[in-house]
Structure 1
Amino acid sequence: MNILIVLSFISLVLVGLALLSFLYSVRSGDQDHAERLSLLPLETDEPPEKKE
């Protein structure tokens, strides 16, 4: 039964760390340009210039 208490404590610590890292990511603005970057591979390339 003691292992349940230890595992519960460890899982709560991990959830807290995940929540803190998520909040840090949101506040620092890491995900502001995620939509633009996800569409970047879909853009067409400019045609090559013709050599004369």
Structure 2
Amino acid sequence: MDEEKRITVRLPSELHDRLAALAKRDHRSVNSEIVHLLEVALAGQPQDAGSP
């Protein structure tokens, strides 16, 4: 099993509401939806990409 890290993220209420709606639609928890969206956003990005 992959090691998991726990973080705290402050989100605007409106963004949380949007995430919760997507999660419900996709039958996922809000946490799982965030992980999924991050994985999709980072797909194809070099792992060692630095900021310009």
> Normalized against structure 1, the TM-score is what?
0.31
**Structure whose alpha-carbon radius of gyration is higher:** 1
Structure scoring higher RCO (CA < 8 A, sep ≥ 6) equals 2
Scaled by the length of structure 2, what TM-score is found? 0.31
Quick check: which one's helix share is greater? 1
